[in-house]
Structure 1
Amino acid sequence: MLAVGIDLCEIDRIQRSMRNPRFCREILGEQEFAQLQGRGFPAQSVAASFSAKEAFAKAMGTGLCGFSLREVELLRQRNGAPYLHLTGRAAALAAGWEFSVSISHTGSTAAAVVAGERKEA
C-alpha cells in the first residue's frame, strides 16, 4: 500500500509566526529545533519543516489529529538529504510504514511531499 501527502506553506506566514518566541518550540521537535537553531532558524527551513509535518498528516489520512507536531521531525543527514524522524503517537500511528520526504522552496513558498509505503508483515 502506498500513501502520499503534499503541502505548500507561505514563508511570510511562518516568518510572522516566528516573531512569537514560543512558536519554534511549539512546532519543532528537540533534534529538529537544534538543527535549525544551529543554522540561525532560516524562515524557509522552518516553513519546510512545517510543510513536512502537514504532508505526513495527509499521507496518513489523519490531518493534524492524534499526534503532536513536535513528534514529526524533518531532519537532515550530513549530506543535507531530508528524512522524517517520528516519536510518540506519530511513531505509533506510522508503525509498519516507511517514509521518504522531499522538500523545496522558492522565495515565497516552501513545499514538502511525503511518500509512505506499508511494509510487509
Structure 2
Amino acid sequence: MLYGIGCDLCELAHLEKSLTGAHAAAFVRRVYGEAERTALGLDDPLSAGRSAAHRLASAAANFAAKEAFLKAAGTGLREPFSLCEIEAIRQENGAPAYRFSGRTAEWVQARSLTARLSLSHEGGMALAFCTLETET
C-alpha cells in the first residue's frame, strides 16, 4: 500500500556553490553519507574517476533524493531525520536505491516501509522521485 510520494528538483549551479564555497567541507559532512561521499568523490575530488560535471550532476540528484524522501515521509527535515542518514546509492546494475542509517533507518523499519527511487538530470537540473510503500 502506498504510504507517500515525493519529488524534488535541484539546480546544479546552486548546489555547486554549496560544494565549492567556504563552508563546503561542513556542508558535505552534514548532507552526504560516507558511501555517497566516496562514490561521488566529494572528500577528495581528484580521486574520483568521473568528470567534475558528472560528479556535480550526481551530487545534485542525490540531494534531490533526500528531499524527495522527506516529502514522501510527510515530515520535512525534522527529527528523527538527518540528511546524511538518507543516502542515494547505486546498485551493481547502476539503478539508484536508498540506504538508511541511524534514526532514519529506525523510522523506516518501524513502519515496515520500502523506499523506491528514480533519478534524472538534464539541462542544469536534477530530479528525484520517491515512493514509500508499506508491506500491507
TM-score > 0.5, shorter chain as reference: yes
Match among 101, 123, 128 for residue 112 of structure 1: 128
Equivalent residue pairs, number: 120
Question: Letter of the aligned partner of 1:25 in structure 2?
Answer: R
User: Which segment is superposed worse, 59-68 or 35-44?
Assistant: 35-44
Question: Letter of the aligned partner of 2:66 in structure 1?
Answer: K
Q: Tell me what 1:74 maps to.
A: 88
SS in 1 for 2:68: helix
Pairwise CA distance, 1:107: 2.6
User: Which segment is superposed worse, 60-69 or 39-48?
Assistant: 39-48
Q: Tell me what 2:32 maps to.
A: 28
CA contact (8 A) 1:72 1:85 kept: yes
Question: Letter of the aligned partner of 1:36 in structure 2?
Answer: L
Which sections of structure 1, spanning at least 5 residues, go unmatched?
none
SS in 1 for 2:20: coil
Structure 1 pair 91–39 and aligned structure 2 pair: CA distance change class (3 A): farther
| TM, length-normalised to structure 1 | 0.92
Moved over 6 A (4+): none
Question: Letter of the aligned partner of 2:132 in structure 1?
Answer: G
Structure 1 pair 105–88 and aligned structure 2 pair: CA distance change class (3 A): same
Per-residue Cα deviation, 1:28-86 (whole angstroms, up to 9, x for no partner) = 00111111113556111111010000000000001011111000000001221000000
Q: Give the structure with the larger helix fraction.
A: 2
Question: Distance in 2 between the 1:39 and 1:115 partners?
Answer: 31
State the structure with more CA Rg: 2
Does 2:62 align with 1:49? yes
